Amino acid sequence: MEKSIQDSIHGVIKLDGWMVKIIDTPQFQRLRRVKQLGFADLVYPGANHTRFEHSLGVMHIARVLKDRLELDDVVLVAALLHDIGHAPFSHSSERLLEEYAGFKHENISRVIKGELKDVLNELGFSISEIEGIVTGKRTSVVNGEIDADRMDYLVRDSHYTGVAYGVFDIYRLIDKIKFEEAVVIQQGGIKAAESLLISRFLMYPTVYFHHVCRIARKMYERAMERIIQTGFDASNLLEMDDIDAMMLIKEREREFYGRIINRNLFKRAVYVSKRVVNFREVMRVNEKRAETEIAEEAGVDEKYVIVDIPPVEEMRESGVMVETDEGLKTLDEVSPLVKALKTASIENWRLGVYTTKEYLERVGKAAMNYFGIEKVVQKSLDEIFP
């Protein structure tokens, strides 16, 4: 029996009966209790949307693409389930799972079990084929340079945070996409693709890598890591939601639990761009070792020092193929704007060292010595990104 869901981004989303069977499993319903943006609500109070609604949105976009590109229903299943492997607070648990459970959230075959596995078998869908689409090995519609996933999350995250940067013309872009072994953008879609890249470029420093979001994420990560190191099986995170995770931290890391829920977060002792440090050397630094050495020099407990060396976010979208009069070329080849954005995106990177308010001066000085920083002038984000 077909059902309809009123979505805040796409309007009415139609669900076929077989989709409802998948959505109604406990494994999929868990996504209602996993926030899309982790701790971003500490900065943007409206950012309480979940992986559940995002998954429905990705399926909706994938269905529009499916009809245009004449793809099979398995693409829709992959779109629905592409985030089924996310643990509590989404990407905030990602490093923990990779390091302590050898798991990446795209490897969904490991979490498809119980009722969800039974329903997929009943419907005749291959779990290995679904995983191949989710990982991008079989088609780029769900996971590619420009895919249904990012088309939904940029607009959805912009809507719920109240940040206008994520808005671009999804349906113009979809209308100018075709499939030739991979997604190809027709010439008339170049401006829509450029708009997506601009949205991505602005959303990362403003939302995804906002310093408060990073601090809360790293505090959660460090608290959970200490719990894991005392015997907790990290793979259990795959069956937990945000509430479960916070209750675990409340039980075993009560101080950090109180700090996170009351927004009594660590502060920035050091927060600098790649221009201030030896970037190549910093990217090879082990965060935990750096925390130990900085804490020793500052004379504080190691748990009150957090070193945050974020990965450099690659603009995969710039490599999508575009139709031109001279044949297929990558988007950054045909668009000077995209080429400039790709170069400029690394300027959004920041090295952070965080600690409690009372240790700011001591930890800041030790961290500057450790990373060879001669002078740090702290700036607000408004000054960094005017």
Kindly report the CA angle at 29 between 26 and 34, in degrees rounded to 5?
125
Q: Closest by alpha carbon to 232, among 93, 113, 355, 30? A: 93
Q: What SS3 state is found at 325?
A: coil
Identify the bridge partners of residue 185 per DSSP, sorted by sequence position. Answer: 177, 322
Identify the bridge partners of residue 182 per DSSP, sorted by sequence position. Answer: 180
Catalytic residue among 60, 82, 86, 105, which?
Answer: 105
3-state DSSP of 84-123: CCCCCCHHHHHHHHHHHHCCCCCCHHHCCCHHHHHHHHHH
Q: Closest by alpha carbon to 31, among 74, 78, 93, 89? A: 89
Distance CA 214, CA 88 (A): 16
Q: Closest by alpha carbon to 55, among 21, 32, 89, 87? A: 32
The per-residue b/e assignment along 298-323, b for 16 or more CB within 10 angstroms, e otherwise, is bebeeebbbbbbbeebebebbbbbbb
Instruction: Tell me whether residue 86 is one of the annotated catalytic residues.
Output: no
Residue 73 makes CB contacts below 8 A (sequence gap 6+) with: 18, 66, 125
Whether residue 145 contacts residue 196, with contact meaning beta carbons closer than 8 Å, is answered with no
Distance CA 87, CA 266 (A): 24
Burial class (CB in 10 A: 0-12, 13-18, 19+), 210: buried
Return the active site residues: 105
